[in-house]
Amino acid sequence: MKKEKKITVKFYLNTMLDAATGDKGQKYYPLYIQVTYNRKNMQLKSKYGEYYEKMDKVNKELMQFEEKMLCKVIRHESSLISGEYDMKGLKQKYEIYSGSVAEALENYLKPKLRLMILKTKDWLVPVLNFNDSRATTGRLYQAASKLFPDLEWFMNVKLQEELEAYSYYQRLYPEIFLSYTFPTLIEWAEGSYKKDLETKLKTTYKNKPEIIKKVTVLIEEAVAKNLKQLEN
């Protein structure tokens, strides 16, 4: 087993870039990250950070979260190769891997739901705004079911099962994540969230292995589709 090499993550405000100016002339700069691994350095923009006047204004939970995700990505990627990992492509990989599982589900299901709704050819179809981030798959499906009484006629068996699995998954998280604790794609890829989810599913849906399987398969397919971006 290879000895794990040290990963150093430092956050800073990139003052080399143009600043955003506040209403009183304050200068705000984007949050950046410097990663050091195997004697190599890389700088990348924080995915979840914004513009800040000073470093002490940056949310500590945000930095802890991004540092943890970056370390997981590097550990995972380095485990996939036999030689030295040189962080090539880390910027793109981090951007994708650090996305949330919930977002991956929306990216996977919403196009399928939209296609099914378009098949109804109902004149009310345009009122459903699929581009609004607040219009989740669950809300859109609920609204469409009320607007189009014959909606089920246009639904294939696979989508029906996936929407059912989606509803089971949503019940596990009745509240919105208000802090940086949401599960990410890298945590699914390297296995830690798979274990956590399995425990949560077994606790919530006792003696119902079919539900556990449906939810797990759905997330596996949704995450796999999102990670296909890494192949480009």
pLDDT, tens digit, for every residue of 128-168? 999 988 899 999 999 999 999 899 899 999 999 999 999 99
List CB contacts of 90: < 8 A, sequence separation 6 or more.
Answer: 35, 42, 44, 73, 74, 77
Please name which of 35, 13, 169, 147 lies closest in space to residue 89, comparing C-alpha atoms: 35
What is the longest distance spanned by two Cα atoms in the chain?
A: 62
pLDDT, tens digit, for every residue of 193-208? 999 999 999 999 998 9
Question: Tokens 């004697």 identify what position?
Answer: 39
* pLDDT in the model for residue 180: 87
* pLDDT in the model for residue 186: 96
List CB contacts of 43: < 8 A, sequence separation 6 or more.
Answer: 32, 33, 34, 35
Confidence grade of residue 86 (pLDDT, cut at 50, 70, 90): confident
- Measure the CA dihedral 160/96/5/65, to 10°: -90
Flag whether pLDDT at 1 surpasses 60: no
Q: Where are the domains of the chain?
A: 7-88, 101-231
* pLDDT in the model for residue 2: 56
pTM (2 decimals)? 0.88
